Amino acid sequence: MRILYITPYVPSRIRIRPYNFIKGLSARGHAITLFALAPGDESEYIDDIRPHCQHLEIVQHPLSRILTNCAGSLFSSTPLQAAHGRSPAMRQLIEHTLQKDDFDLIHVEHLRASEWGRWIQGVPKVYDSVDCISLLFERTIASSPQITSRFMARLELGRTRRYEGRISSEYDKVLVTSQEDKESLAELMDVDDSPKRVTVVPNGVDLDYFTPLALDRQPETLVFTGKMSYHANVASALYLCSEIMPLIWNERPNAQLWIVGKDPAAPIRALAQDYRIKVTGYVPDLRPYLAQATAAVTPIRYGVGIQNKVLEAMALATPVVTTPQACLALSAEPGRHLMAGDSPDAIAQHVLRLLADRELRDRIGASGRAYVEEHHNWLSIAASLEAVYKQVLDER
């Protein structure tokens, strides 16, 4: 197939979903033309994705344009996420290309890029919503400890619901990462066949990249990973440090916690005042931290979709302790592939068991690795995406 793939950022090992979709589709013989916005200097990512594209175009999207877009949408029906990606240069590029080139299918990723597909006619269109953003906002309002996050979610929720329902109805097929995202998005859509039109294509993990390393585990060392400016990660890290770690320290006073990820917000940076907590900020490679930790602790307060941090830790055979929320999008079995607790005490007790029992750590870690190999292999997921494309073409 000749596929025009449109994203509001450059696919990379950080933006793993489009990166691995494109990589997998290319390996299966499809010709990918990628159009991507670059909100900043993303030159370091371009060389990684270029070999998997027949053609690649990067459209610069400066901060001044983003701010103008968002300011213009404040009193409109368009949510900030959708306005964020508006780009006359991108629209011109798409229109010009479609006038001279033929494609079998157009794939648009994320709410920020969703408007680019709505005015394209005559070509089958797939929209990868990834998550249901309205559901995320609902959970942010209910569970975020940060006033600013709750305020922004309240501000955006109503128009995001209306917009997601409307824009999703204008595509032939909509993709999400989990069943609960599918159900929530289908309820918003104003079409009779909405449950059929929304399809779950889960996230995977790069099993060659995230593979167990020959590094010694550090004793009594826990790790939490993620982009640490993202409000849901901030909420989870604060919860871990304020509610869970004190219970662990009561029995293991020398236990260490690594918080690893770029752009830590001020409340996260402040956690490093405790000598037992290390806040790294940006690191070029997460793997050594995951590979050397005794366990990964990911107490998700709220969120949607699949938690990539959980899959990556499991792929490195690092035992994971998380919350039931993180398990909703997985078929992993708590107690076998990972451990899950629904309260600070339950999470702390799981962690303490792992710290005390190497055999248990090894068993959970090995089972976690086996689980992602079976269920979250990007090559298999790319085949599932290809099947969705073929279904769209057959139904046309």
Per-residue confidence in pLDDT tens, the chain, 396 aa: 999 999 999 999 888 999 999 999 999 999 999 999 998 777 778 989 999 999 999 999 999 999 999 999 888 999 999 999 999 999 999 999 999 999 999 999 999 999 988 888 889 999 999 999 999 999 999 988 889 999 999 999 999 999 999 999 999 999 999 999 999 999 999 887 778 899 999 999 999 999 999 999 999 999 999 999 999 999 999 999 999 999 999 999 999 999 999 999 999 999 999 999 999 999 999 999 999 999 999 999 888 878 899 999 999 999 999 999 888 888 899 999 999 999 999 999 999 999 999 999 999 999 999 999 999 999 999 999 999 999 999 987
Contacts of 273 (CB under 8 A, 6+ apart): none
**Residue 281 bridge partners (DSSP):** 260
pLDDT, residue 79, reads 95
Secondary structure (H, E, C), the chain: CEEEEEECCCCCCCCHHHHHHHHHHHHCCCEEEEEEEECCCCHHHHHHHHHHCCEEEEEECCHHHHHHHHHHHCCCCCCHHHHHCCCHHHHHHHHHHHHHCCCCEEEEECHHHCHHHHCCCCCCEEEEEECCHHHHHHHHHHHCCCHHHHHHHHHHHHHHHHHHHHHHCCCCEEEECCHHHHHHHHHHCCCCCHHHHEEECCCCECCCCCCCCCCCCCCCEEEEECCCCCHHHHHHHHHHHHHHHHHHHHHCCCCEEEEECCCCCHHHHHHHHCCCEEEEECCCCCHHHHHHCCEEEECCCCCCCCCHHHHHHHHCCCCEEECHHHHCCCCCCECCCEEECCCHHHHHHHHHHHHHCHHHHHHHHHHHHHHHHHHCEHHHHHHHHHHHHHHHHHHC
C-alpha distances out from residue 256 to 181, 238, 249, 291, Å: 35, 15, 9, 15
pLDDT, residue 43, reads 75
**Residue 256 bridge partners (DSSP):** 221
Identify the CATH number of the domain defined by range 221-375: 3.40.50.2000
Amino acid at 192: D
pLDDT, residue 396, reads 75
> Sign of dihedral through CA atoms 84, 85, 91, 92?
positive
pLDDT, residue 194, reads 79
**Within 13 Å, how many C-alpha atoms sit on residue 272's CB side?**
12
pLDDT, residue 44, reads 78
C-alpha distances out from residue 311 to 54, 300, 304, 326, 370, Å: 30, 14, 15, 10, 11
Pull the structure tokens for residue 28. 């299966």
**Within 13 Å, how many C-alpha atoms sit on residue 59's CB side?**
20
Whether 2-204+377-395 and 221-375 share one fold: the answer is yes
pLDDT, residue 218, reads 95
Domain 2-204+377-395: CATH superfamily, name plus number:
Glycogen Phosphorylase B; (3.40.50.2000)
Alpha-carbon distance of 121 to 396, in angstroms, equals 13
Query: What residue ranges do the domains of the chain occupy?
Result: 2-204+377-395, 221-375
Alpha-carbon distance of 108 to 101, in angstroms, equals 17
Alpha-carbon distance of 356 to 348, in angstroms, equals 12
- Angle at Cα 267 formed by Cα 262 and Cα 273, nearest 5°? 95
Alpha-carbon distance of 256 to 88, in angstroms, equals 49
pLDDT, residue 329, reads 84
